[in-house]
Structures are given as C-alpha cells and as structure tokens.
Chain A
Amino acid sequence: MSYLPYCVAAWLFVIGLYGVVTSRHLVHLIVCLSVVQSSTYLLLLSIGFRDLPAQAPIFSDVPPGTPAVDPVVHALTLTDIVVSATVSALLLALVMDVQRRRGSVDPETLSPFRE
C-alpha cells in the first residue's frame, strides 16, 4: 500500500509508451503520450504527500502553521501540465497538417523518406 502510487505511476508510464509504440493513428498516439505525461504528475504528487492530519498548503480556512503537504511538488506539477498541454497542442497541429497533405494519419503509411 505504501508504494502503490509509485507503482501505478510506473505502470502508466509503460502502458502509455505501449500505446505510442504500437499506435495506428497519430491522434491516438498523442493521447497515449499524454498518458505518459500523467504518470509524471502522479509520481510528483505522491512524493510530496503527507498523511492526515496534513492539509492542503492553503491557509485560508486553517491557521498558518498547520501541517500541510509539500507545496513545491504542486508547483512542479503545474509547470509539467502546462508543458504537456503545449507539446500536445503542437503535435496536434502537426497532425492536422499531415492529414491535410497526406490524407492519412497512420504511422505505418507515413515515412519521411520513402525508399
């Protein structure tokens, strides 16, 4: 139980990569890439977690000084989410262009240099 979140993060990482490696549709590939990204969020947030009575590090309802979880990993995760969203957006734009020019989004039929 104490290591389950880390194992889930590792599992998400690998299963997302499985989707990326064996995908037959580029949009599906990008979504699998975001699954890989979400494994990093899970890992970061699990590392900074503290059991109860630790609260969220927001002291609007509780007095400052009450035990709280680590706020730094939340900041790191936020940065990570923005990075992932932007990479996905760029990749989707590229895929849209490919669809328009090539008419197909199957990685099997695409190849930068056909023999």
Chain B
Amino acid sequence: MRPRHRHLLFLVAGAGVLGYLVWGMLDLSPFGRYPGPYGDIVNAVAFSERHVLNVVTAVIFDYRGFDTLGEEFILFACVTGVSLLLRHEGDEQGDRCSPKPRRESSLEQAIAPHASEASRSCAALYCGLILVFGVYIVLTGHLSVGGGFQGGVILASAWLLVLVAFGSPALHRFARKYAVEWFESAGAGAYVLIGLASLLFGQNFLTNILPLGEPGQLLSSGTILLINCGVGIEVSSGFILLLCEFGKPLQHQKPVR
C-alpha cells in the first residue's frame, strides 16, 4: 500500500475508532467518582486481614497474587526470549558475557567513548547509594510506597550506571551470566514454591500461611514480604540480564544474508 493511501485510510479508520471509544467512555461514571465495590471492600479489610499498610501491595501479592505470578513469568519469558534472540554462534559453550580480552580496549571505547573521569567517579559513588535505596524499596513494600517490582528495577539501574559509565567489560565483571541467571530462576521459582507450600498446609494455592506480625513492623504481613523479596531478586536479575544482552559486544555478530 502506498504511504499516501495509508495516511488517508488511517484518517478514516482512526476517526472511527476514536469516535467509537469516546462514545463508549461517555457512559462511564465521571472522573473522580469511582462507584464499584471491589476497591472499597479491599480498602476496608486489607489492614485488618493482612496487617499491611500499603493496600496496593496487598492486592498485588495476596488478593490477586496469581496474576502477579503470571506477570513475573512474563518478565522471565521476555528475558529468556531476548537471550534467545540476541544469541550468536557458539553460544552453547562458555560464558557469553565475557568478551575476548584482546578487543577490550576498542570495545570500551565503543560502549563508553565519552565517559569522563567525573562521570566515572560519580557513578562509583552513586552505585552504592542506589543499591541501598533499591533494597529499602523492596523490603518496605508492605509498609509504604514500594514493592518488589519497583525496587528490582531500581537495583538493576545500578548496573545500568556501571554499563553507561564504565562500559561493557566492567558490567560483565560485575554480572557473571550464570550467577545472575541462577538468581533469576531462584526468584521466580521461589514464588511458585511459596504458592505450593500453602498446598502442604491444606489451603489453596498462594494462601498467606505465615504469621502476620504487627502492622507497621518490617517483619509483618506473612508471605507478602517473602514474595516481595523473591520478586525483587527476580526482577533485578532479569533486568541485569537484559542489560548484558543489549550491551553485548557487537563484533561477535556475523551478518548472514
């Protein structure tokens, strides 16, 4: 289809879709007047039933924990898929993350050509702070704003800083592929195992079986804290693997026509 036809046809189709969507949305309750029962029920009972202060975390990891299991494995499948798609020949053996040493200098320049001393020192300083902050966000998901997903991404951003400031070889020195994959699978497997553990106690899958503790304490809310940590490990490892894959040395690829 020629581009001009595409534009014209889109004007018609786009107008149709836009009008249709708006017509349907006008039958919703106005903005600011949420009517439905689901949110109100959860808001009312989450604190007393699960001793959490962050109701969103309770919904994510307890009331609708099964959805989050699927979501975590979407991330897991994505990381596996990216590793599959960005592979190159001879990947069955060896740790792909370590590039050949004799090309290291040109590689460094390829990835971080303009990184100055200042940016490297700042990166070295901030990495530690980011790691601490990330761990804090993961652990206090049930107490205040935060959670496994958010904290995991923050943790991975420390490695991103290393990649940007120091280049790919430095990243691979701090992220051995086998170790990171192991952490990723441990985090993902932990979620399923915690769910299966409740089967052993005669409850349904993913029931909160651990003692709930005092609301407001770090060790409270039962399995929500454990799942939070597991998800945090899995998400951070997954994103570190993504960084490894996307920041991989480019000269290993042999273009095939």
B74 to A: closest C-beta gap in Å: 5
B-chain residues with CB within 8 Å of residue A89 when the two chains form the complex: 78, 82, 242
Number of chain B residues whose Cβ lies closer than 8 Å to a Cβ of chain A: 59
Number of chain A residues whose Cβ lies closer than 8 Å to a Cβ of chain B: 56
B-chain residues with CB within 8 Å of residue A22 when the two chains form the complex: 3, 6-7, 10
Main secondary structure of the interface of B (DSSP, over half): helix
| B128 interfacial contact with A, CB 8 Å | no
Contact of B10 among A21, A56, A96 (CB under 8 A): A21
Q: Are A7 and B25 in contact (CB under 8 A)?
A: yes
A-chain residues with CB within 8 Å of residue B144 when the two chains form the complex: 58, 60
CA gap between A48 and B42 in the complex, in Å = 13
| A83 interfacial contact with B, CB 8 Å | yes
In the complex, per-residue mask of B22-48: 1 if CB is within 8 Å of any chain A CB, else 0: 100110101111101011101110111
CA gap between A74 and B161 in the complex, in Å = 29
A-chain residues with CB within 8 Å of residue B42 when the two chains form the complex: 71-72
A-chain residues with CB within 8 Å of residue B85 when the two chains form the complex: 90, 93-94, 97
CA gap between A2 and B86 in the complex, in Å = 47
| A104 interfacial contact with B, CB 8 Å | no
CA gap between A4 and B31 in the complex, in Å = 8
Q: Are A21 and B78 in contact (CB under 8 A)?
A: no
| B185 interfacial contact with A, CB 8 Å | no
A-chain residues with CB within 8 Å of residue B53 when the two chains form the complex: 58-60, 64
Q: Which residue of A lies closest to B25 (CB)?
A: A6
**A-B contacts, 17 listed (Cβ < 8 Å):** A2-B31, A3-B26, A3-B31, A5-B31, A9-B25, A11-B18, A47-B28, A50-B34, A58-B53, A58-B56, A60-B216, A65-B44, A68-B43, A70-B36, A71-B39, A92-B246, A93-B82
The chain B residues found within 8 Å of chain A, CB to CB, are 3, 6-7, 10, 14, 17-18, 21-22, 25-26, 28, 30-34, 36, 38-40, 42-44, 46-48, 53-56, 58-60, 64, 67-68, 71, 74-75, 77-78, 81-82, 85-86, 143-145, 147, 149, 216, 242, 245-246, 253, 255-257
